[in-house]
Structure formats: C-alpha cells, structure tokens
Structure 1
Amino acid sequence: MKFLVGYSNDSSGKDALKLGVALAEMTQGKLIVCHIVAKTWHNIALAKFDEDYDQFLCDEAQKALDDAKLAVPSHIEARYIARTALSISEGLKQTAKELSVDCMVISGARIAIKGQFFSGTVADELLNQLSLPVALAPKGFAKNQGFTSPLTRLSCAVSGSDQSCNLAISAGEWAEIFNVPLRFVTFAVRDRDITPTAAGFDAENMVINEWREQIEAEYAQATQHWESDVPISLEIGDGPTWKESIQSIDWQASELLIVGTTTSGIFKQVLVGKNAEKIIRYASVPRLVLPRSTD
C-alpha cells in the first residue's frame, strides 16, 4: 500500500508522520511525505517581496522534509516531496491523485485536546472532497510514542443503517490486511441535559433498549453470513453524552477505528455526517475514514 502523509514541521505534522510510519510498517507499504507550500497572491508592487517570501517558504519546506527523514526508519521505502498549491488541501488532493496513493494520513487542528481529533480547515476540506481513505492522527500521537505494539484490533463504528453492511465488508478487508480481529461498535446516547418529554426518561430507556436488542439481533444474523476468516465481535457504548458513550467501552493501546461516511450525491466521496464527526472527535485511538462505496 502507498500512504501519503500531509506533513508540517510542528507537533501536528509529527503526529501524522508517526501514524503514517506505523501504517506503512504494518502493511509493508510505501510512504510519501509531502509538505505543501501555499502560493502567495502576487501584485506588481510586492512582486519582489513575494518572490523572496516564496523562496523562503520553499527553503523551510525542504528543511522540514529533512527533519522528517530522521523520524522514518531506514527499512521503510519513503519519498519526500515539497510542492506549491493554492491551498494545502488542494495540493494534497492533487498529489494523491497524481501518485495514485491508497490512503492519506493527516492530523487535525492544534486546539484539540490530547488524544482527540478536532477537524480544522484543511481536514474539513479533505474529508468532504476526497475519494480515498483518510487516516486521522489524534493529537499527541507522536509524543505518546504512537502505537505501543503492532496493531492488535480494528474497530468499526456502525449504525445499523443500510450502508453499515458495505462498511462492514470494507472493514473486514482492512482487518485481513492488518491480520487482526474486527470489533463492531455502536453508541447509545442518553441526553440528560434536555427537558424530558411527557413520557419521561423511562420511555427513552425503553426505546434505547429496543434499539440495543435490534442491533444485537442484526449482528447475530450478520455473523451467520460472515464469509471472512476475520474474527468479529460486537460492543455497544452507552452514556449521557457522545463523549461518555464512546469512552464507556474498552479501547486497546494499539487499535484503529474505522468510520464510514454518510450518503452523498457524489459516489465514492467522503462526506462526514454529524454523528461520525462526534465519533471522530472523541475516540481515543487513530481513525480511518472510508469513502462511501458505489455498491
């Protein structure tokens, strides 16, 4: 597999690079470390200044890539490139298309809390426009030594919708690539901050319990038709908020969470829905966002 890392010489860029290295090692894949220099807008009066500034940015990009080389083990086949584009997201998209990569690896906004992923402008644009998988490095992934061991499990967030079936199949294929078991996870949120309806919270609990039974029944049926050799399991999170529901289940130190995308008018395009955004933000492990299939 070929992984494209969107790199910058800061803590966020190092998080993405660390995750890219881990994924390349586990798949015996190739790494492309790319630093995008955003073009400046030129005008006649400032042409010389802009030219000098552009050169400065290019020099800084090369220095950043030189630093990145020191963090990539010598046994990984890696390529280091610096390119200019109108924006970082546009540059990464063009590079991914030109080099036919299998997966892009990026980090989020610096304001994220340790272990979480907060989507900034670049991540938002990439997640809503790309047609290939995107691996998201949580804040502090590099500083915390990344995975403590080779990947031990894949988890896949499912909702019970019609799209979950295709997502489960794709998740199974990724589990085969990494040679690890696959766990399906879904989350119930019991919002205690809202004013209860006339039926009260007992009715809410009844609805959620019925939903749990439905999810478990669907999983039991799915296991009968599961054709992959990958071992599968199911776990349901529960809590008063998305954060607490997601954190109510066990997460292993070397685990990757697969998140699917919502229906889009553009086939095979990544489009992250509101619930997926919450899962992406609060999960405590790296995330892999898969584009919607045409099937």
Structure 2
Amino acid sequence: MTVIVGYLAGKSGPAPLHLAVGAARTLRTSLTVATIVPKPWTFPSPARVDAEYAAWADQLAADSAREAQRELAALGEPLEVTFHSHAHRSASGGLTEVVSELDAEVLVLGSSASGALGQVVVGTTADHLLHSCPVPIAIATRGYRIPRGGRLTRVTCGYPGTSDAVEVVRQIDELAKRLEVPMRVITFAVRGRTMYPPEVGLHAEDSILSAWENQAAELLAQLRTDGVVSDDAVLQVVSGNGWDQALDDAEWQEGEILALGTSPRDGIARVFLGSRGAKILRVSPVPVLVLPG
C-alpha cells in the first residue's frame, strides 16, 4: 500500500506534495509521485515525429520528478519515495490506472490554480476522479503547507445526520485510530439565503434552525451511545448563514483534514459526492478527504 500523489511540473504548485507527505508519514507508509504524460494517438506518423514526441514525454516526466524531488528534499525527515510515470490520453484516466496498478491507499491531488488561496478548488482532473476513483481522494487547499509536526493532527468527519452516513462515521473513527489522531464529528446546520419568504420573518427561521440544532445534537450523541465513535471523539453542531460561514466558524486546527462520505453509484464502490458534500468541499478551509461510496 502506498500514498500516491498526482504531480506535473508547473501545475498546482507544491501543495499536493506537502499534503501527501503528511498523509504518508501519518499512515507510516511510502509515497509515490505519479506523473501522467500524454499518450500518442495510434494513427501513423513519421518515425521522427514519434521519436520527438517520446523524447518530450520523457523530458516532462523527468522534469516533474526532479521538481518534486527538490521540494520533498526541503521538507526534511526521510521518507520512502518512488517516482512513477504513466502514459495516458487523460490525467484522470492515467491516475485511475496507476491507483489500481500500485495498490494505492489514497490518492492526493492539488487544487486548481484558478481559485483563492486557502481553499479547495476542484479542477477538471479532480472532478473526473471524484466520479470514478475506487480509493479515497485527498485534495489539498491552494497554498497548503505541511504542519510544523510534519503529520496530520486531527480528522473531522462531516455528518449529515442520515442513517446511511453512520457507516461513514464508523470508517472515519477507525481511520483516526489507525492514524493515532483525535477525531471530531460535525453536523452543519445552515440557514439558506432564501430559507423562508420575508413575510414569515427571521424569528421563524431562528426557531427552525434552533430545532434542527437540537435534533442534530441528539443524533450526534446517539453515535456515541451506539458505539459508532469513541468516547473521546468531539461531537459538534456548527451553524451559519450559508456553508461558507458555517465552515469558517468550525475552528480548524493546523494539520487537520475534513473527511466526507459519498453516495454509492451503480452498485460500485467509487467516489461520488452528493450535493451537500460538494457544497462543503467548495468552501472548506482545510484539505478534504473524500471516501468512496
């Protein structure tokens, strides 16, 4: 088993490498830096063109490995690292093949360079993998840097309070024990921008939100009563006017990661976010770990 990080020279910066190192150290496993290089089409072409294309792909893989190696060397503390290049016509398809070939435990990706620093920004490759990857995917926030201790410090599980999400909480509790880090379970109570028409008034909204917070607290407590989470797990309800405010008010630690469950699709164990999880992912201020359905 290994942690695989997708990395291409000049794309998304060192953030995914920092998250992957923290994950590999915490899991006490090896790290594989995977670079997907374009695969040539099969139609005939002059031998010289084929040779030039192959040389360019080899150089791209070598540049990516060299750039990643330089960044990893600056992080100190030795770690078993291998570099792997794989040819495919798409980055997502190539990473899916590498994940299966190398028996990956988790796939780490960076955020798109088009978003704001400090947030998870899902690019095209990550979006495709979130619908097809058979193993958990961890996505780094833009500009993420490894915490001072060099490892992950806490796992927070987002719990919507539904019966089908209980098994996800159980899985995250087992993961936290394996990582030997504290676990927190959060239910977000979010007031929508148009929760009720103006004539109903904010007082009604506050009453409904308060009732939901009380119900969420009871559902969280039931997780402990049923033995789904350990006695020392932190259970918390966080409310806000919109998902961004709720996530900001959750008081995150340095080195923390947010774990989300997913919806099963077509009876196959693969990553596939539901609408609530997708909203949380877009505004998370910490890296997000998405489990297969």
Check conservation: 2:27, 2:178, Cα contact below 8 A: yes
Instruction: Determine the C-alpha separation between the residues in 2 that align with 1:230 and 1:82.
Output: 44
Instruction: Determine the C-alpha separation between the residues in 1 that align with 2:143 and 2:287.
Output: 11
Aligned position for 1:155: 156
Deviation per CA, 1:53-101: give whole Å up to 9, x if none: 3421321211210221233356211110111111111111001101111
Q: 1:66 to 1:233 in 2, by over 3 A?
A: same
Instruction: Determine the C-alpha separation between the residues in 1 that align with 2:277 and 2:232.
Output: 24
Aligned position for 2:139: 136
Q: 1:8 to 1:278 in 2, by over 3 A?
A: same
Instruction: Determine the C-alpha separation between the residues in 2 that align with 1:44 and 1:6.
Output: 30
Q: Give TM-score scaled by structure 2 length.
A: 0.91
- Give the 5 Å matches for 1:179-190: 179-190=180-191
Aligned position for 1:60: 60
- Give the 5 Å matches for 1:1-295: 1-10=1-10, 12-41=12-41, 43-44=43-44, 48-49=48-49, 51-72=51-72, 73=76, 75-141=78-144, 145-149=145-149, 150-192=151-193, 196=197, 198-226=199-227, 229=230, 231-292=232-293
Check conservation: 1:151, 1:180, Cα contact below 8 A: yes
Instruction: Determine the C-alpha separation between the residues in 2 that align with 1:4 and 1:260.
Output: 20
1:25 corresponds to which letter in structure 2? Answer: R
Shift in Å at residue 172 of structure 1? 0.4
Instruction: Determine the C-alpha separation between the residues in 2 that align with 1:286 and 1:263.
Output: 22
Shift in Å at residue 263 of structure 1? 3.9
3-state secondary structure, aligned to 1:265? coil
What residue ranges of structure 2 are gaps of 5+ in the alignment?
A: none
Shift in Å at residue 280 of structure 1? 1.1
Instruction: Determine the C-alpha separation between the residues in 2 that align with 1:268 and 1:248.
Output: 32
Aligned alpha-carbon RMSD (Å)? 2.1
Q: 1:160 to 1:9 in 2, by over 3 A?
A: same
Q: 1:97 to 1:223 in 2, by over 3 A?
A: same
Instruction: Determine the C-alpha separation between the residues in 2 that align with 1:23 and 1:139.
Output: 17
Instruction: Determine the C-alpha separation between the residues in 1 that align with 2:148 and 2:117.
Output: 17
Shift in Å at residue 267 of structure 1? 3.0
Shift in Å at residue 47 of structure 1? 6.7
2:26 corresponds to which letter in structure 1? Answer: M
Aligned residue pairs total 289
Check conservation: 1:181, 1:230, Cα contact below 8 A: no
Instruction: Determine the C-alpha separation between the residues in 1 that align with 2:58 and 2:89.
Output: 14
Of 163-172 and 38-47, the range deviating more from structure 2:
38-47
3-state secondary structure, aligned to 2:289? strand
Q: Give TM-score scaled by structure 1 length.
A: 0.90
Instruction: Determine the C-alpha separation between the residues in 2 that align with 1:161 and 1:227.
Output: 14
Shift in Å at residue 113 of structure 1? 0.7
Instruction: Determine the C-alpha separation between the residues in 2 that align with 1:228 and 1:217.
Output: 14
Deviation per CA, 1:113-135: give whole Å up to 9, x if none: 11111111100111110121111
1:279 corresponds to which letter in structure 2? Answer: I
3-state secondary structure, aligned to 1:12? coil
Percent of pairs identical after alignment?
29
Check conservation: 2:223, 2:229, Cα contact below 8 A: no
Check conservation: 1:154, 1:182, Cα contact below 8 A: yes
Deviation per CA, 1:12-53: give whole Å up to 9, x if none: 152111111111112211111110002244655677445413
Check conservation: 1:237, 1:247, Cα contact below 8 A: no
1:2 corresponds to which letter in structure 2? Answer: T
